[in-house]
Amino acid sequence: MNTKSLTRMIVSGLLIVASGMFTVPADAHAFPDRSSPRVGADLQTPPRVVKIWFDAGIEPIFSKLIVKSSHGQKVSIGPGFIPKGQQALLETHLKPLPPGIYFVYWSVIAFDGHHTEGRWYFRVK
């Protein structure tokens, strides 16, 4: 084997290793990383928005964020949205909230096509 073909073999081997390192794991579905308000928060001032930051990119058309009162009345405006320039932030605006407990329902499809959803609450004093 001459030097040229040996070099070619080593280079192609390195490329295979490199592409393996940057492969996104198949289980990279999206889970909440943090939120505003925080999960279970007791708030003196009613929030005007709810934001959830995810640990992976989410699909805009399939991702939903809805907030309901403890009586099941929807208090968020629209289905939730991903702000321009963001990939992993889901947000919704809220109607003015009287004191009470509010449930946040989220449902997203990650870029890998996997669905995750959950529910948490916060309280306005």
CB of 82 to Cu ion, least distance (A): 18
H helical segments located in 2-86: 3-21
CB of 34 to Cu ion, least distance (A): 20
Contacts of 51 (CB under 8 A, 6+ apart): 35, 36, 89, 90, 91
Cβ distance to Cu ion smaller for residue 59 or 112: 112
CB of 121 to Cu ion, least distance (A): 26
H helical segments located in the chain: 3-21
- Candidates 25-33, 75-83, 85-93, 97-105; binding stretch for Cu ion (CB under 5 A): 25-33
CA distances (Å), origin 104, targets 14, 15, 55, 65, 74: 47, 45, 18, 7, 10
Cβ distance to Cu ion smaller for residue 106 or 122: 106
Tell me which amino acid residue 29 is. Answer: H
x/- mask, Cu ion, residues 77-116, rule CB under 5 A, reads -----------------------------------x-x--
- Is residue 29 near Cu ion by the rule CB under 5 A? yes
